[in-house]
């Protein structure tokens, strides 16, 4: 399945735990397509915190959200998602319904600026601390670009055997034969399990 199909599956997995008024996080804002999707799901009474390490990405995303009239629920943060807990208000802990990660490089931007294994894993650990019961981490990883395969393997290994307690594994795509297809990961917070 191509990137578009996998991102569509990611959106459906996130939508399943969102509702008007909910709190969502986009951990890799990029050009803002995913942030716009989240903003529409939670509506004007909800909240979306979006994080990206590139200012150019945040500018593009802001323009997209403004043009769509969907900026109201969105707070954009310039920084690394590995600092998610510091970028979001203290009150976010235990209240976020969905956190979306769309890894790799900014389409149309500098392909050398990519998400990296160490910071991605730190962000996933931080994200788990933010989730409400029933909340989900939804991630799309791309093994096809330089550095992507290593990151993808590390994330899938973390999800399979090193994820925090109380996180249930809902979906984890196996590698395809060509090993370049995007892979979806969905985790759900189930405290006490």
Ligand X SMILES: C[S@@+](CC[C@H](N)C(=O)[O-])C[C@H]1O[C@@H](n2cnc3c(N)ncnc32)[C@H](O)[C@@H]1O
What is the binding site for ligand X (CB under 6 A)?
A: 28-34, 51-54, 57, 80-82, 102, 104, 106, 113, 115, 119
Instruction: Give SS3 for 136.
Output: strand
Q: Closest CB to ligand X among 56 and 190?
A: 56
Q: How far is the CB of 151 from ligand X (least distance, A)?
A: 10
Q: How far apart are CA 76 and CA 49, in angstroms?
A: 6
Q: How far is the CB of 182 from ligand X (least distance, A)?
A: 10
Q: Closest CB to ligand X among 117 and 170?
A: 117
Phi, psi of 19 (to 5 degrees): -160, 165
Q: How far is the CB of 55 from ligand X (least distance, A)?
A: 9
Q: Closest CB to ligand X among 55 and 177?
A: 55
Q: Which residue number places its CB atom closest to ligand X?
A: 30
Say which residues have a Cβ less than 8 Å from residue 101's Cβ, sequence separation at least 6: 27, 28, 81, 115, 120, 123, 124, 127, 137, 138, 139, 140
Q: Given the structure tokens 């590139």, which residue do they identify?
A: 54
Q: Closest CB to ligand X among 54 and 59?
A: 54
- What are 40's two structure tokens? 């529409």
Q: How far is the CB of 37 from ligand X (least distance, A)?
A: 8
């Amino acid at each position: 399945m191509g990137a578009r199909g996998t991102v569509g599956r990611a959106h459906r997995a996130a939508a399943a735990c969102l509702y008007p008024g909910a709190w969502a996080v986009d951990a890799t804002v990029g050009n803002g397509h995913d942030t716009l999707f989240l903003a529409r799901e939670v509506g004007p009474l909800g909240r979306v915190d979006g994080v990206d390490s590139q200012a150019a990405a945040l500018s593009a995303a802001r323009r997209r959200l403004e043009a769509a009239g969907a900026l109201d629920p969105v707070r954009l943060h310039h920084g690394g998602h590995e600092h998610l807990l510091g970028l979001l208000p203290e009150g976010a802990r235990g209240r976020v319904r969905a956190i979306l990660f769309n890894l790799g490089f900014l389409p149309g931007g500098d392909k050398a600026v990519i998400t990296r294994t160490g910071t991605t894993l730190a962000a996933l650990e931080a994200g788990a601390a933010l989730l409400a019961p029933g909340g989900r981490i939804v991630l799309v990883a791309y093994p096809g670009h330089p550095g992507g395969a290593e990151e993808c393997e590390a994330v899938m290994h973390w999800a399979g055997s090193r994820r925090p307690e109380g996180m249930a594994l809902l979906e984890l795509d196996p590698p395809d034969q060509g090993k370049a297809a995007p892979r979806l990961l969905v985790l759900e917070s189930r405290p006490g399990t």
